[in-house]
A = this chain, B = another copy of it.
């Protein structure tokens, strides 16, 4: 395989790379092209066999597919697009600008153009946008023999012959599905209807997460997408679903980290983009967190009288944030996996209340022990009322951790209730929510316990 190191050492040579591509795994070729400029990649694609070029463009891992298409001669670009799987071709065309986009669409044959236009009409991340129209369907009154012949002759090029779909011969509605394995095992003269089972289907507007759940739940190779009248529009294959789950996973972790999801690999994002994706949320959180300054200003008198209280502000605030972050991460996944449903919110609240109180009490004991120890060992003097200060910290911890656990667990429910993805909840967002109230809980507890002594 032509290695990228050879390339950078010897300078770019399209012919050498094109020759090295023969017989290699497409995924490896894509890795090589991803390190070239789109213009260089286009040059390589011109030199490799047409089938190879199509396989390369069909890989979702190719980084600059649209730019490569732009750099290709128009007629070659149109030929390659027509040969690609319809879902990937639609993805590429969507990224092109007019007039090139219009020109290429005109250059396609009628059938490809119609298919791609219809795929382009579905919103991103839906079954409709993910599906391919390259499925194999036969009338339900055919025999095993005839179906096998049909696959051998007509469907040679379909990469996605994992399942065969049965259509009603008159209404053309989807009525059944069976695997290639069942077809091979069937008696040649038997009707294919006898092999089929009722298919598990999805609608074109179903979210990609729902499609993934369906595939995982029923161990399917592909899910047929049908319209409301039961006509087969396309299939979503397991490999697209794996890609979708991995992308979703990345988005979830990034969102939970408190930023907008990023599609490009880390080292390829421009500094400006990076600042935007992180800065917006950071600024929103910062402005919200400013409320803590207001709370502190409000309790300024108490702080002046009892400066010792400020020592524990970071400790108490972070404990609330940490317990909230734990609860949020638990519930984001529980909702995503359908372990709990929206209507279970009160069950969850009833679990988080005792959980939070016990966890808070645990931390409270540790905090109290520390204050007593430092006082007795003479490491630090918390003043005359040190035991009361310790009790204030312990009591505040119970309140703050309980509040953090409850708020953190309810946030994903609230987001789902108002129509957002529960995974939009982020650890920094929970921490910010809990910080302001946490401070108020702390100062109120102090007022309650220390009034008449320190305050």
CB of A267 within 8 A of CB of B344, answer yes
**Chain A interface helix/strand/loop/mixed:** helix
- A111 interface residue (CB < 8 Å to B): no
- A351 interface residue (CB < 8 Å to B): yes
Residues of B within 8 A of A334 (CB): 265-267
CB of A311 within 8 A of CB of B296, answer yes
- A330 interface residue (CB < 8 Å to B): yes
- A377 interface residue (CB < 8 Å to B): no
Closest chain-B Cβ to A274's Cβ sits at a distance in Å of 6
Name which of A13-21, A39-47, A282-290 contacts chain B.
A282-290
- A253 interface residue (CB < 8 Å to B): yes
Residues of B within 8 A of A256 (CB): 253, 256-257, 329, 427
Closest chain-B Cβ to A408's Cβ sits at a distance in Å of 9
Closest chain-B Cβ to A384's Cβ sits at a distance in Å of 16
Within 8 A of B (CB), among A290-339: 290, 292-293, 296-297, 300, 303-304, 307, 310-315, 317-319, 321-323, 325-334, 337, 339
Residues of B within 8 A of A279 (CB): 358-359, 362
Residue in contact with A180 in the complex, picked from B181, B215, B297, B362, CB distance below 8 Å? B181
CB of B315 within 8 A of CB of A290, answer yes
Known A180-B180, A256-B427, A275-B355; contact A292-B314, beta-carbon cutoff 8 A = yes
Residue in contact with A265 in the complex, picked from B217, B296, B319, B339, CB distance below 8 Å? B339
CB of A257 within 8 A of CB of B328, answer yes
Name which of A66-74, A223-231, A240-248 contacts chain B.
A240-248
Known contacts A281-B322, A282-B322, A286-B367; can you find 20 more A-B pairs with CB under 8 A? A156-B185, A162-B162, A180-B181, A221-B238, A238-B239, A238-B242, A241-B242, A242-B245, A245-B246, A250-B333, A254-B329, A256-B256, A266-B340, A267-B348, A283-B362, A289-B315, A293-B315, A304-B307, A318-B431, A321-B431
